[in-house]
Amino acid sequence: MKYISSYRIIVIVFMSVKFFLQIYFFQRTTRTSREKEKRWNKLLEKQAEEYKRKALHLEGLMIKMGQFLSTRADLMPPEFLDQLASLADRVPPVSWDACRKLLKDEWNMPYKEVVKDMDTKPVASASIGQVYKGTLYGGEEVAIKIRRPKIERIVNADFKALRIVLWLAKHFTKLEKRTDLKKMYREIREVMGDELNFISERKNGESFKRKYQELGTFNIPSFYEEWCTDKVLVMEWVEGKRITDTAFISNFSLDGTTISEQLLRGFLDQVLEEGLFHADPHPGNILLGEDGTITLLDFGMAASLKQDDAAALRQLVSGFIFDDYDEVIEALEKLGFLLPEADHEALKHSLRDLIDTFFNKGQNMPEWDERLVESFIAELQRIAREQPIHLPSEFAFLGRAVSTLTGVLYAINPQLDLIQSGRPIVMDWLRGRPEANIQTFIKEAASTYGNTLLHLPQELSKFLKEPERKRLDEAKQFSIRQSQENLRQMRSFFLKLILLGSAGFMISMWVSVLLTVYISILFVVIGGIGACATTYKLKQHTIVRSKQMK
């Protein structure tokens, strides 16, 4: 059933509609703030668990979509991020007969004419492909990655469902105000297109190999181009253990400190300069050899930073350091983070308060404190969710890559001082090109950064001195206007639900799908009740507001 397109679309859309309705009725029925927070967290946890179960059952795009959303802290609440981050891309393998047929179709000959020996049990199986070990007639041991048969048809069906879900989100939720849904859809299609097309993955791998041959940091497996297609990859087999296997590190007397610093420098070279960076550096994609050699695998999830983006990142970091938040906002605009309706002044104040709150405990940068950093990231995510910020996919994956790599580094070396180890690399990067006077930069950073972060922003001080009554009146009027706007949006939601249900009913009668008939009727009934209730409430609210204005 899960491979039937219509079944997948119904399951995905129905789950999404269920989530939207649960959130809507929660907002309508919950009153007190204490009760609201407790019930809200419980609802989100329940929804996240359901999504994870459905994703593991349906596989395909559901898993990849979950992994993509786990990078979107600007959209998803922490309860969802925790579940989605643990969504493992490991699924039961397809049959060897299906893979053998695919190899024959791609190579135009039986696989035994290319591979002398091949283990028919896969060494790894994921939602897009699975990997086998083989030996060529020249004696070379190879890893053969095969795209799962029919995966393209499954993903296309899932994208149809996703388009419906995003249409519902645009018309019945406030997500459109917080992100560009059309752009997000295009980015997901591009990412999945690269993962489905093994030619793109091979080109990414070859690009990394050229880069690290010059730097000498990592080992990248070679590809056997003559046997690579858009559905099959044949590459050098590399022996090694997961990079986080501390017992292996100890048994072969390897230095965890050296390994972690080498890994940190290698990845900072990727993410701080223009060019490709590996967007999925989890332990299974980083192997460690007996001699300490680090090998990178799986280049399907790779993103690129353009030269202009790297320059804008330097502007962003220097803006924070020198307390120039006009520079920060300008950099965010250059990077494509801010939607047109973003409130620049409010965002500047929020970011300034954030820095003041977390970095005013010492004269300069505080010592590494994991709890402090977690709190800082959580507050940054809150700001991203409150402002209409669109996180471009390359930066979403950049954040995910940095987060994943951080976990790997601390697994290897729990005593690692990430700030101390990364500071020389980041300072070199901040200088940019042409070379700047780093001594002047450090001196200005120390004086400006230390002074500004010891004081609250002037705007905040002025605000606190305003008359209390005036602020309360403004807050009350804002609350009244916001409540009326919410009621109007709710009424619009229910009217659209009636239209959607009516259209669905007519279509379902034509195609004779009983389940769709029931769902359409349910939409019409819920929409009718909700429209009547919100219209009545809006009239009452208008009367109350008129009396208060008098």
**Pick from 339, 275, 347, 348: nearest CA to 308:** 275
Measured in whole angstroms, how far is the alpha carbon of residue 471 from the centre of its chain? 38
What is the pLDDT tens value at each position of the chain, 550 positions in all? 777 888 888 889 889 888 888 888 887 776 656 667 778 888 888 998 899 888 888 888 888 788 777 766 666 777 777 777 667 666 788 899 999 999 999 999 999 999 999 999 999 888 889 999 999 999 999 999 999 988 888 888 899 888 888 888 887 777 766 677 887 788 778 777 778 889 999 999 999 998 888 777 789 999 999 999 999 999 999 999 999 999 999 999 999 989 998 888 888 777 766 678 888 888 888 999 999 999 999 888 887 777 777 778 777 777 776 778 888 888 888 887 777 777 788 888 887 877 776 555 443 444 445 555 556 556 666 666 666 666 666 676 777 777 778 888 888 988 877 767 776 776 776 665 443 444 444 444 444 444 443 343 444 344 444 444 444 455 555 555 666 666 676 667 667 767 776 766 566 555 555 556 666 666 666 767 766 767 767 676 666 556 555 5
Helix (H, G, I), strand (E, B) or coil at 129: strand
pTM value > 0.75? no
C-alpha distance across the termini of the chain, in Å: 63
Which stretch of DSSP H or E encloses residue 136? strand 129-136
Radius of gyration of the chain (CA): 27
pLDDT for residue 519: 67
pLDDT for residue 434: 43
Structure tokens at 261: 């610093």
Is 175 in contact with 181 (CB distance < 8 Å)? Answer: yes
pLDDT for residue 454: 38
Sorted by sequence, the CB contacts under 8 Å of residue 6 that are 6+ apart come out as 513
| Distance set, CA 153 to CA 3, 6, 95, 196, 301 (Å) | 9, 12, 18, 11, 20
pLDDT for residue 301: 80
Structure tokens at 339: 């939607």
pLDDT for residue 296: 93
Spell out the domain ranges in the chain: 240-465, 468-549
**Pick from 387, 359, 391, 394: nearest CA to 373:** 359
Structure tokens at 216: 């000498």
CA separation for the pair 264, 408 (Å, rounded): 10
CA separation for the pair 66, 54 (Å, rounded): 11
Is 57 in contact with 66 (CB distance < 8 Å)? Answer: no
Is 87 in contact with 67 (CB distance < 8 Å)? Answer: yes
pLDDT for residue 331: 85
pLDDT for residue 212: 84
Task: Please provide the DSSP assignment of 142-154 as one string.
Answer: EEEEEEPTTHHHH
